[in-house]
Amino acid sequence: MKQRVITAIVLLLVLALVVWQINTPLFVIVIAFLSAVAANEIMRCAKISNKFILVFGTAVAAAFPFFASPKVLEPLVSAKVWGGVISAVPSAVYVIATGLIFCLAMLRGYSHTKFEDVAIAFFGSVCVPYAFSVFVKLRDMFVNEQFGIYLIFFALICALGTDVGAQLGGMAFGKHKMSPNISPKKTIEGAACGIVVSIVLNAVAFVIYNRLADAPLDTFGATVILVCCVPVSFLGMMGDLTASVLKRNFGVKDFGKIFPGHGGVMDRFDSSLFTLLLTYVMALIAFC
């Protein structure tokens, strides 16, 4: 317990530093690091021994966030239009090229390379990093940068609020198991409490944002945000359960050990990756 508390305090201090530097390259570098570690954790849990797949998959995951937004690439190119062209790579050429290289690796070493290993490596080095890249996409999505940053916090609050609320609610009111074969401690009552806590915390965060923001949200924006708390929070719980299924299949308790007492990057961000993705889709539909 002491180790968990110490790690949590250190993580909060690091988070404060990252938030303070959210509009600098340091933010993208941190996201790239988390993305690479998460991909590596998944591949190692799957016991992938092919060194090329491990190294290449980790490198692809680290590079992904740098292609998430034209604003990240603008300092490296001569014109904004080229930043836009390069930022389209992850959605098309980047993913296809990564898949082809994995396929070539499988064909070249077909006698000792399993298809399952390549499939898991592709998932870990493309799908998971894409979710991490949403941190950068949301930050740079709007002319009003404050709103993009607020949406990042919205997604994280949905994940954290639901998790904490579900744990406390489950201990106090839990009777009906939500998914006994996957996560015996999770209950339907706890899940409902988690969603309520998420809504309350996001309502508070919204009030704070609207008082501090240069361009506060109108009634429509407020309605969208609060209504979306329910599906986003629910998807966060599904992300947690999905991670539990993966760990059971891999035969491990935690994805990694980078955070003493808390497990690995995937253990900390499993639900957040799902809430980020749905928040991004919500923002595209409602605010773009």
Whether residue 5 is predicted with pLDDT greater than 80 in this model: the reply is no
Q: How much of the chain, in percent, has pLDDT values that exceed 70?
A: 84
Q: Kindly indicate the confidence band of residue 97, based on its pLDDT and cuts at 50, 70 and 90.
A: low
Whether residue 83 is predicted with pLDDT greater than 50 in this model: the reply is no
Whether residue 281 is predicted with pLDDT greater than 90 in this model: the reply is yes
Whole-prediction pTM: 0.87
Whether residue 277 is predicted with pLDDT greater than 60 in this model: the reply is yes
What is the arithmetic mean of pLDDT over 178-205?
89
Q: Which residue has the higher pLDDT, 169 or 76?
A: 169
Number of helical (H) and strand (E) elements in the chain, helices listed first: 12, 2
Whether residue 79 is predicted with pLDDT greater than 50 in this model: the reply is no
Q: For strand 177-179 and strand 183-187, is the pairing parallel, antiparallel, or unpaired?
A: antiparallel
pLDDT value for 110:
57
pLDDT value for 222:
87
Whether residue 174 is predicted with pLDDT greater than 90 in this model: the reply is no
Rounded to 5 degrees, what angle do the CA atoms 35, 126, 17 make? 20
What is the arithmetic mean of pLDDT over 134-154?
90
Q: Determine contact, residues 31/135, Cβ cutoff 8 Å.
A: yes
- Least confident residue range of 11-25, 200-214, 235-249: 11-25
Which residue type, as a one-letter code, is found at position 179?
S
